[in-house]
Amino acid sequence: MVDLQSQYAKIKNDVDPSIEEVMNTATFINGPKVHEFQKNLENYLDVKHVIPCANGTDALQIAMMGLGLKPGDEVITADFTFAATVEVIALLQLTPVLVDVDPVTFNIDVNAIKNAITPKTKAIVPVHLFGLVANMDEIMELAQERNLYVIEDNAQAIGANYTHKDGSKSKAGTIGHVASTSFFPSKNLGCYGDGGAIFTNDDNLAHTIRGIVNHGMYERYHHDVVGVNSRLDSIQAAVLDAKLPHLDTYNSARRNAARKYSEAFKDHPKITIPTGKDVCKGICDTCDCHVFHQYTLNLKNVDRDALVSHLQANNIPCGVYYPIPLHKQKAYKDEHYNEADFTVTNQLVQSVISLPMHTELEDDQIDYITNRVLEFINNNA
Ligand SMILES: *Cc1c(COP(=O)(O)O)cnc(C)c1O
């Protein structure tokens, strides 16, 4: 699904010296590299504060702790996402409220959010799924109206640009009150181990969060709040700082690959290609609202699992993200959920398939993949 070896081979001359610097100075924790990367990412995103931490799951948890959410507070998020999002809500003894997604963008459905708001609702967590930014203008409007926090789960969309209704642009993860991201190796900006970060433009919240990531300390050995130990180590920061200047090129390479896939699949009656905002589909030359963390097709009248087997038999990796709706997971079942409220997610888990997507895809690889997909679909009517 990804090719991190070829990617590393091309940037070895940037990455190795950056890591060596950490080795030679033995500044493994909170070294200068962490601070440098933090500043460079703040500039890249045009956000006031980046707080690095140990991974994307911690980032979400710490963001929620920073906002002072309390047990019993309801947090609305998407039913169709990676489990980390709902996991931290439950861990903090907040009440997860899962809602359905939009059938076209796969992102959280704003009307479903509206219907799920109660007097106990405190926050909304939109996930920019597969690299496409959720409908942030409407989500922020709703949040303002109902006095709710918005926490963007930006683990899959770093570098994506969101175009507001007025035409201005913001980077994903800088629109809500706070955002989290992950630097897991296969993410769009990945390190060589675990890593994550929290972003915010709110000075007070940033201060609170800087203490939380460091055992609740604002002054050495004074523990004012219950915190955690969550650090981005200096070697990972060194890798990320070397890779950050390549992020836009990497995201363009992903969009190019997506464009080639979509060229092959468009207009097929059984295949819906990934779609961004109505017209641009996220893959036009000027738009960068979709950074294709995954390239995901939605199939109609195709035996998806047989296609998975066919691709595997042809040495093509593929993935089903996600095969089970969160509301049906043992850990997150709740008697209050009504199946009729999850028609889209319940359908998507049966009909989506994600194809290889990374920065090193060659045209002949894409041709091979699209041919194998189409031959299966056209021969199995
Ligand atoms: C990867 C991911 C996370 C978790 O990140 P980790 O660094 O693996 O903890 C959270 N949310 C989403 C949507 C993700 O894709």
Give 161 Cα–ligand 1 centroid separation in angstroms: 20
Assess whether the C-beta atom of 87 lies below 6 angstroms from ligand 1: no
Ligand 1 pocket, 181 CB below 6 A? no
Q: What is the pLDDT of residue 283?
A: 52
Ligand 1 pocket: which of 77, 86, 184 to mutate (most atoms within 8 A of CB): 184
Binding site membership of 163 for ligand 1 (Cβ less than 6 Å): no
Question: In the prediction, which pLDDT does 279 show?
Answer: 41
pLDDT given for residue 276 in this prediction: 53
Q: Is 56 in the pocket of ligand 1 (CB under 6 A)?
A: yes
Cα of 62 from ligand 1 centre, angstroms: 14
Q: Is the CB of 272 under 6 A from ligand 1?
A: no
Q: Provide the residue count of the chain.
A: 381
Split the chain (381 residues) into runs of 10 and give each run's mean pLDDT: 93 96 95 98 98 98 98 97 96 97 94 98 97 95 98 97 90 98 98 98 98 96 95 98 97 93 93 68 64 96 96 97 97 94 98 97 97 95 63
